[in-house]
Amino acid sequence: MALSDDLRAYITEHGQPTTTITQKHNVAIVGETHAPIWNEVAAIRLAASVRLLLELLRDPRYRYFGSEHFFNAGPIRLGVREYWRYGRLPPPVDPTQTNPDTLSDREIQEVAKRVLTRRFQPVLDYLRGNPRFILSIGSMISTGPARDQRLAQHFFEEIADRGLSPVIPGVLLLGAHHASAVPVSDWATTRMLLEKLGFNCVSVRVLTDFVRDGNPDDAVFPLNIGTPVTSISQVTSVRLTSLVDKTPLTIPTDRPQSGSQPSPFRSVAFSDHEQSVAEEFEYIVLQKA
């Protein structure tokens, strides 16, 4: 059976229109591919993340919501607080009048405050009507192990400030690499750092049909680490959203198939990753524009 057929059969058997996390956990981590801050071309990425966050937060057991988008200090944190407490949105940004190459770090944060508060307004509206703690864990550090470390540090500080403990459940929004259960590069991810201090995590990867610079968000490749390439099928990607008719659809990544065959998500990986999809994330959610 071709890999795409194997994946389609598995998704048909295990996919569900709603998200039910069966594993014991305290932190439900949503891992996304970030939408660009300066334009709305990847609006489906934001829509998919917001929809899933609202679905999860409707479960009253979750007591907090934390986000990488909400910086730990500065204008973004103040903008989120202003809207959550008083319902006052910052003015919108005119993208045609904003050139990021000409802005200082402070001006970039001011623009981000206006963009991100509005982008996540539906989540903030829900939290205003159904109060939860909001954890602002974002960092100006942009790359490398220091970013994962700083995101985790801010998470721990925000948890401590509110008198919460690792056993109290919550929802966290991170970039996909930070949400992975295993290293994507040569250092521990944010999730791994949380687990080291006693937080029990489950990660849900949001995948859309958006394509940027020829790279689809939902493409997976056969996992051929250390295997000589002798067939085009070994390097041919599969678009996961092409395998389903209706979305959103939530799929657990590591359930046995009929006949006790292992999950095909143990045999595929995201581009340039050396770990399988099933090793990185317990669930994926597919959503088409």
The string of pLDDT tens digits covering residues 83-132 is: 999 999 999 987 776 677 788 888 888 989 999 999 999 999 999 999 99
Cα(143)–Cα(140) distance, integer angstroms: 9
For residue 279, what pLDDT is reported? 97
Length of the chain: 289
CA distances from 227 to 139, 152, 223, 267, 268 (A): 39, 36, 9, 13, 14
For residue 118, what pLDDT is reported? 95
**Is the pLDDT reported for residue 225 higher than 70?**
no
Cα(93)–Cα(103) distance, integer angstroms: 14
First-to-final CA distance of the chain: 29
CA distances from 273 to 31, 98, 151, 228, 267 (A): 15, 35, 22, 17, 12
Nearest to 215 by CA among 50, 6, 33: 33
For residue 272, what pLDDT is reported? 83
For residue 234, what pLDDT is reported? 65
**Is the pLDDT reported for residue 229 higher than 70?**
no
pLDDT tens for 133-163 read 999 999 988 889 999 999 999 999 999 999 9
For residue 120, what pLDDT is reported? 97
Cα(191)–Cα(231) distance, integer angstroms: 36
pLDDT mean over 199-203: 98
Nearest to 251 by CA among 272, 269, 265: 265
Burial degree of 18 (CB within 10 A; 0-12, 13-18, 19+): exposed
**Is the pLDDT reported for residue 261 higher than 90?**
no
Q: Is 219 helix (H, G, I), strand (E, B) or coil?
A: strand
Nearest to 140 by CA among 185, 105, 113: 105
For residue 140, what pLDDT is reported? 87
Rg (CA), the chain: 19
78-87, 152-161, 263-272: which is most confident: 152-161
Collect all residues with Cβ–Cβ distance below 8 Å to 40 and sequence separation of at least 6: 95
Nearest to 252 by CA among 192, 203, 199, 181: 203
The token pair that represents 119 in the structure block:
């982008």
